[in-house]
Amino acid sequence: MNDEVDGGWASSAQAWIVEQGEEGDYGRRAVLDAPMLARIEGRSFARALDVGCGEGRFCRIMQRLGIRTTGIDPTEALLARAKQLDPAGDYRPGRAEDITEEAQFDLVVSYLTLIDIPDIETAIVKMATALRPGGTLLIANLTSFNTANMPDGWRRDGDGVARFSIDHYMEERPIWIAWRGIRLQNWHRPLSTYMTLLLNQGLQLRLFTEPRPTAGDPAQIARHLRVPYFHIMEWQKPA
């Protein structure tokens, strides 16, 4: 598969599987998992769709809460890994833009996938359509402040102090980023792009948080406190 076509996912899949392990990478393990789970636990979600499920880690977590999960992802090698770890699980090849289910799911999850999806307008329409009335769309995303820094990342200023610069914030664009054998295309979009598309679906915002790290070495924690990394949004489809 040509990297330009799939955003680098086929070429990066094996390194991605190593990076995530069973516990997830730092952002998932120490920042996002707990607040994401707090929005799911104890609620009566029977069926969930995990859009861009990758190697299925969050599907497996939701299943442990008694939720019937369907994971979709366009990257074959990641789906194969999901199937290997969870042979009875429901994992299907597919892109968010091509979801065909209508009003089927109590919960639709997008766990760090909005930045990977090229046609975000269609994808958000499809995610909202897949929800049954009253259902919940739970999103974890890289903040737009963060993606506006890509691909330069942190840089040292003249005094040797690490600085994080945001630029071209209003300009929607694909950006290639690379680390530890992974090379992927992410999309930077202003936050208003996502908010407007979600509001246009008639979804109602129930929660917006910017979670803080709960673990990690002091440098990792400091980085996440200095700069916005992630946000979590919970949207509800009116009943």
Ligand X SMILES: C[S@@+](CC[C@H](N)C(=O)[O-])C[C@H]1O[C@@H](n2cnc3c(N)ncnc32)[C@H](O)[C@@H]1O
Binding site for ligand X (CB under 6 A): 7, 9, 20, 51-54, 57-58, 73-75, 78, 95-97, 111-113, 116-117
Least distance to ligand X from the beta carbon of 239, Å? Answer: 27
Name 73's bridge partners. 93
Among 136, 85, 61, 127, residue whose Cα is nearest residue 106: 136
Least distance to ligand X from the beta carbon of 105, Å? Answer: 15
Of the pair 117, 233, the CB lying nearest ligand X is at 117
Of the pair 112, 124, the CB lying nearest ligand X is at 112
Least distance to ligand X from the beta carbon of 123, Å? Answer: 6
Among 101, 163, 89, residue whose Cα is nearest residue 130: 101
Of the pair 53, 203, the CB lying nearest ligand X is at 53
**Sheet order of strands, 131-142 included:** 90-93, 68-73, 47-51, 105-111, 131-142, 230-236, 204-209
Least distance to ligand X from the beta carbon of 223, Å? Answer: 19
Q: How many CB atoms lie within 10 A of CB 228?
A: 16
Distances (CA, A) of 85 to 41, 48, 81, 100, 216: 23, 19, 6, 26, 27
Distances (CA, A) of 113 to 1, 73, 140, 167: 20, 10, 8, 22
The rounded distance, in Å, linking the Cα atoms of 49 and 72 is 8
Least distance to ligand X from the beta carbon of 130, Å? Answer: 12
Least distance to ligand X from the beta carbon of 99, Å? Answer: 9
Of the pair 56, 155, the CB lying nearest ligand X is at 56
Is the distance from CB of 164 to CB of 226 less than 8 angstroms? yes
What burial class does residue 103 get, using C-beta atoms within 10 Å of its C-beta: 0-12 exposed, 13-18 middle, 19+ buried?
Answer: exposed
Of the pair 75, 144, the CB lying nearest ligand X is at 75
Of the pair 86, 116, the CB lying nearest ligand X is at 116
